[in-house]
Structure 1
Amino acid sequence: MAPKIFIDGEHGTTGLQIVTRLQDRTDIDLMSMPAEHRRDADVRTRFLREADIAILCLPDDAAREAVALAADAGTRFIDASTAHRSHPDWVFGFAELNREQSARIADAQFVSNPGCYSTGAIALIAPLVAAGLLPADYPLSINGVSGYTGGGKQLIAQMENASQEDAITAAYFAYALALGHKHVPEIVTHSGLTRKPIFTPAVGRFAQGMLVNAPLHLELLNGNPSMADVHAALATHFSSGGVVNVVPLSQSASLARLDPEEMAGTNSMRLYVLGTEGTGQLNLVASLDNLGKGASGAAVQNLDLMIGVQAPA
């Protein structure tokens, strides 16, 4: 019997993307709550408790409520909200985090889907901390720019409808200026850092795609490594290829620019080590789709691990 999958919040940005990815699959039973019952708490509870796996595309408090309603029924969860990303009882749904993570996701009842910025940041940082190159207390700065779809329906409307009262007309804007972005705790927790990084995110006037970058001073790293050493640590960590790919240094050296939309429409991520060997500085950059590997694509990847099937090509 095909596993029953319920997307709680299927009409939001991430939920709609997940539905699109799953709607033609024949190896699952995709449950959908009738529109007239969307606000019926009893119907929602029944769907949550009957599902084999519930994917939560909800605000944090609603996600916590959903878990409380159905965890005792044996329902397994993939939570796309921020609510459980640093919770010790939840498995972090970044399959490439380490060699054991895919197996942990496959066996888990509770899986937290990573945030988009944190997916890129953790991919760049965690392997270097694990390899002993990046000190856990390094004074790290992380910057990023994302397509506006990462902000959900409200921001999409603000960016696309210039006639509405709260429309945003800027081509690019930075936000989270008080340095309290919701992705910082999970970056610290899952990168192995002990010092909170300074994180400055931004939004550009494009729908999907993102770049996350972390500049480093090599003399402040353990052993004063070269660019090649840092690249080798990342390449070794992600040597299996597939979803996360480390771009060869020779290819990175030939680039004049990086396009934040280069990975739009994909579920993959590219990592770049940029700079000039011998200068003592480098810039690490992750390129991904904020709605792909940064959200719904990761949720489907985690779902496939949990139901033990190979994702369709």
Structure 2
Amino acid sequence: MAIRLFIDGAAGTTGLEIRERLQGRGEFDLLVLDDAQRKDEAARRDALHAADIAILCLPDEAAKEAVKLAEGSGTRIIDASSAHRVAEGWTYGFPELIGQETIANARLVSNPGCYPTGFLALVAPLVRAGLLPVDWPYTVNAVSGYSGGGNALIDRFEQDTDIAFRAYGLQMGHKHLPEMQKYAGLAHAPVFSPAVVPAFRGMIVDVPIPFKAMGVAGAADFEEELAKVTGQSQLMTWRRGFESEFLIRKDAPAWDGIELSIYCDEDYTQARLIARLDNLGKGASGAAIQNLNIMCGLPETTGLRL
């Protein structure tokens, strides 16, 4: 019997990409609301209660409302918003960090943020292994394609073609910081410098590591640990970086993996840990499908673009 699946917010960027990844998949019976019903509370409540699993592709407050609408049902939920990422009772949907079994047995799963996915993939394993200190004032420099900002930002970039670079989060306190700090096990939230470039998709997350100033071991231990972590994953890859530049291409295809790399100086006194991913892939829709597969007992890469 097919699994009944409802995507609340299916018309948004994340929802549309999830639907694309579900095309041709007979394991699921997709419950669809027409345009007149999409914002009708009663219709949404009925769909949420009828579904076996619901994926929320909504703004934070709307996602919280959807969870309330689903109360009294046995529906399992994957929330792609940031509303529940550090909330009590929710499982953080990062299988490589949290464990597949934990997600498989969860009823409420919160998708990680796109930037935190890159940061945590790099930093969390090294903190856990004792190779990075928990109390260091980390910084995160990152750029993303403009699709990560939703329809409003997509329209802005596509209508105003003079925009070459958009830095934001300048007042600090970005909504991604709580999950970065919590799931990396840090004493302090990192200083986060996000930016958007005129490419539809793609993301680079860059974490500077001053080995000598930190008083920590050098690159070899870092490489060994990250190679071990990625070796256990079907979506994560690891490599030593030797290039002199790192590119985001405007015509990059959809991709649901994540690549981790390390760049060091000749004396191994400094390094840059870099994660490359698709903000709409492993950073959003691809991660939702990965979690959906795990929750349904299916191979985690089914329907993913790798």
- Which TM class, normalised by the smaller chain length? over 0.9
Q: Aligned equivalents of 2:39 and 2:78: distance in 1?
A: 21
Residue deviations 1:228-270 (CA, integer Å, cap 9, x gap): 11111111122224201111x2xx12x1211134974110000
Report the CA distance shift for 1:80/1:169 in structure 2 as closer, same or farther (over 3 A). Answer: same
Tell me the secondary structure at the aligned position of residue 255 of structure 2: coil
Instruction: Tell me the CA shift for residue 68 of structure 1.
Output: 1.4
TM-score under structure 1 length normalisation: 0.93
Instruction: Tell me the CA shift for residue 221 of structure 1.
Output: 4.0
Amino acid at match of 2:293: D
**Higher alpha-carbon deviation: 101-110 or 237-246:** 237-246
Residue deviations 1:203-233 (CA, integer Å, cap 9, x gap): 00110001000001112446x3111111111
Give runs of aligned pairs for residues 58-97 of structure 1, distance below 5 A.
58-97=58-97
Tell me the secondary structure at the aligned position of residue 232 of structure 2: coil
Q: Aligned equivalents of 2:58 and 2:224: distance in 1?
A: 39
Tell me the secondary structure at the aligned position of residue 147 of structure 2: helix
Tell me the secondary structure at the aligned position of residue 54 of structure 1: strand
**Map of 1:165 onto structure 2:** none
**Map of 2:273 onto structure 1:** 284
Cα root mean square deviation, aligned: 1.5
1:305 aligns with 2:291: no
Tell me the secondary structure at the aligned position of residue 30 of structure 1: strand
Residue number among 208, 217, 220 corresponding to 1:225 in the alignment: 217
Moved over 3 A (4+): 261-264
Give runs of aligned pairs for residues 132-151 of structure 1, distance below 5 A.
132-151=130-149
**Map of 1:44 onto structure 2:** 44
Residues 142 and 213 in structure 1, CA contact (< 8 A), matched pair in contact too:
yes
Identity %: 46
Tell me the secondary structure at the aligned position of residue 35 of structure 1: coil
**Map of 2:192 onto structure 1:** 199
Give runs of aligned pairs for residues 266-285 of structure 1, distance below 5 A.
266-285=255-274
Residues 218 and 268 in structure 2, CA contact (< 8 A), matched pair in contact too:
no
Residue number among 177, 180, 184 corresponding to 2:177 in the alignment: 184
Tell me the secondary structure at the aligned position of residue 67 of structure 2: helix
Q: Aligned equivalents of 1:143 and 1:137: distance in 2?
A: 19
Amino acid at match of 1:125: V
**Higher alpha-carbon deviation: 201-210 or 26-35:** 26-35
**Higher alpha-carbon deviation: 113-122 or 63-72:** 63-72
Report the CA distance shift for 1:138/1:258 in structure 2 as closer, same or farther (over 3 A). Answer: same
Tell me the secondary structure at the aligned position of residue 178 of structure 1: coil
- Unpaired segments ≥5 residues, structure 2: none
Amino acid at match of 2:65: E
